[in-house]
Amino acid sequence: MFLKPFRVKTQTSIKGSDRKKVRSTLQQSFPLLSPEAASDIVPNKAEMTTAKISTHSGINIVVYCVGKNPVLIDVDGVVYPTVYTMWKYPDLLPVFRTHSNVFSRLAGGADLMLPGVVVEEEVTPKTFAHINKGAVCSISLVGNRSPIAVGTAAMSGSDMFDSAMRGKGVHVLHILGDELWAFGDKSKPPLLPEKTRETVLDMAGESQDGDTAEGEDQLAEEPDMCEGSQEPEHQLSGEEGSSEGEGGEDLAASTDRMSLEEEKIEEDTSTVDQSPKESMDDLFKLCFQCAMKKSLKPTDLPVLTSAFYKLHMVKFCPADKHLDVKKTSFKKLSKFLKEMEKAGYIKVKELSKGVESITEMKKDHPELRYVKPPEGAGVMEAAPAEKSDSQYHPPRITEMLSFNAAVLPLVKELGMQKGSAVTGSELRNIINEYVRKNNLQDEKNKSKVTLDPLLASIVLNKGENDVTQLRWDDLTSRIAGKMQNVFKVEFQGQPPIIRKGKMEEITLNVFQRGSNKKVTTVDNLDVFGLDLKEFAHEIQIAIQCSCTVSQSSSNKMQVVIQGNQIAFVADLLTGKYKIPKKYIKGLEKAPKGKRK
């Protein structure tokens, strides 16, 4: 966001009352922050200014500065600390650690990918349990706790675990060396020693014994740790500028060498002791056999292999252990299931590259006769209830009106500013209060309001100079018509977001393609916080048809389903996901019922 120079519109001193508001907002956004720390970030007496800036992409942002350094930024009502603040309070946000050679890519505009996250312990469902999608977080480098970037989580903690630590981890918003950092005194991050045996992202301070080889193995398997990277637009001065490529060594070479070293370490450790792999192989096979005997039914087929693993195998793992395919000799779930296919348990069919499903099962396999679930198994069945915080909750949508220059004089005395938003009922209360305060209601006809010069300048059009009174409803509708339509979206656990215009609807369409085949398209699911891939997967499992995520002609992502599935999608959206019908467009395109 700040890789390119921004324009400073205004920069003024901040009042004491405004400091209290900023401090209150800061503590609401970060509950773990103590009142003393909040007072240190937003001091009472030190010189403090507020700057309104416009980025190169046209986004308006408020920057709060103490002395010369920016300490906080406000983006659409969401408060983010800068790296200057994070150096004083490195534990303020959940932290993702990564290797130092990744910094140059992040500084060039890339997002942090999960394979680049260094986790010193085995990744379990609890490792990232406190992370919600969109949560504000920071990034630090191995060897120094001082954060070098601030951003938002690209997915929830449970999704990170389910994705096997692949995909985007953090959307970088602000980083050491960008224009926002240069807006301050350009100081370097202090060297803060890392806490020993600290779990990455552990905000609760929970300590466990870790093994750094797990995070490094993931790095070696997938060296592309950043996405969308480009050459940095500017180099950092001093140590930051030279630490990445000293001696002319480029990032690719250093990454390759790191991967080779890690592979060598992995080979050495594997030759020393094979028992962990053998033990995990046995546990994997036992959970598979229990799933075949106790959980999977012929009516469940066909089932995707990933769904079989999550829904049927994992729950038979003892509570004190954790299934990890990377610690088996197979390394991949597909290889393990192919072995089970050779043994005669199942038949696996490849649907597309990397996507497989189980099409047949043999319940009477002789080896299943004496299989018993291990002690402590079945505890994982309660996992869905524990994950209730990460389940989908529909956003709360409020249609509002924003004050512009034409209507602002009416509410200026109330302390409202240009861009402040109110609901329709709040606007009526403001108008009622103004009319009563200025005694503008007609005494003889209570349904009419006498227009004073201020109201007349707002509501009257050309050629209406002789109009002196308006009815209450006419007055309210005219004032509302002069204002900007906005809407407020509130997702659970996230600050509300106010956007201009009207809320986009989920659009359902049916198109006919070659040989009289029809497909259903679903657009704008992401506006309501729905994960398109999960939504498509759910439909694919439920109605057993082809369902993919692709790019539409308007360059937006959409879900494409085989056949006319409008009725099913509508029931899913309004039933399970609780989306109001008024935000779903195209329900009339559902196939009509057959005549009796």
So what's the pLDDT on residue 61?
A: 93
Give how many domains the chain has, as a whole number. Answer: 5
Residues 104 and 233 in one domain: yes
* pLDDT profile of the chain (596 residues), mean per 10: 87 88 89 88 89 88 92 91 92 90 89 88 81 91 92 89 86 92 90 64 42 40 45 38 39 41 42 57 89 86 84 84 85 90 91 80 86 65 40 83 89 85 91 90 88 90 86 91 88 81 89 82 89 88 85 87 89 88 89 55
Domain contains 90: no
Place of tokens 């309210």: 476
DSSP notation for 154-208: SS-HHHHHHTTS-SEEEEEEEETTSHHHHTTT-PPPP--PPPTTBPTT-TT--B-
The answer on 195 and 155 residing in a single domain is yes
Residues 26 and 137 grouped into a single domain: no
Instruction: Name residues whose C-beta falls within 8 Å of residue 488's C-beta, 6 or more positions apart in sequence.
Output: 397, 398, 400, 421, 496, 497, 498
Write out the residue range of the structural domain in which residue 519 sits.
Answer: 506-589
Phi/psi region, residue 302 (left: phi>0; alpha: psi -120 to 50; beta: rest), is: beta
Phi then psi for 42, rounded to 5 degrees? -115, 85
Instruction: Note the pLDDT of residue 301.
Output: 84
Q: Which pLDDT score is estimated for 226?
A: 52
Of the three residues 443, 465, 500, the one that is the final residue of a domain is: 500
Residues 71 and 211 in one domain: no
Looking at the fold, whether 254 and 112 belong to one and the same domain comes out as yes
Write a three-state SS string for 129-153.
Answer: CCCCCCCEEEEEECCEEEEEEEEEE
Dist. CA 316–CA 311, nearest whole Å: 10
Hey, which residues does 174 pair with through a beta bridge?
150
Count CB atoms within 10 A of the CB of residue 494.
17
**Residue 550 β-bridge partners:** 558
Shared domain for 140 and 63, answered yes or no, is no
Whether 401 is covered by a domain: the verdict is yes
Residues 115 and 206 in one domain: yes
CA gap 99, 105 in Å, rounded = 11
Q: Which residues contact 340 (CB under 8 A, 6 or more apart)?
A: 285, 288, 346
466 plus 493 within the same structural domain? yes
Within-domain flag for 87: no
Which pLDDT belongs to residue 508?
A: 94
Q: Which of 369, 390, 411 is the last residue of a domain?
A: 390
Q: Are residues 110 and 243 in the same domain?
A: yes
User: Same domain, yes or no, for 360 and 218?
Assistant: no
Residue ending a domain, choose from 454, 473, 500: 500
- Domain membership of residue 594 (yes or no) is no
Q: Tell me, yes or no, whether 596 lies in a domain.
A: no
**In terms of domains, do 26 and 5 share one?**
yes
pTM of the model: 0.39
The CATH number covering residue 421 comes to 1.10.245.10
CATH code of the domain covering residue 560: 3.30.780.10
- The tokens 């009142």 sit on which residue? 35
Q: Residue 50: which H helix or E strand, with range? A: strand 48-54
51, 63 contact by CB (below 8 A): yes
482 & 567 share domain: no
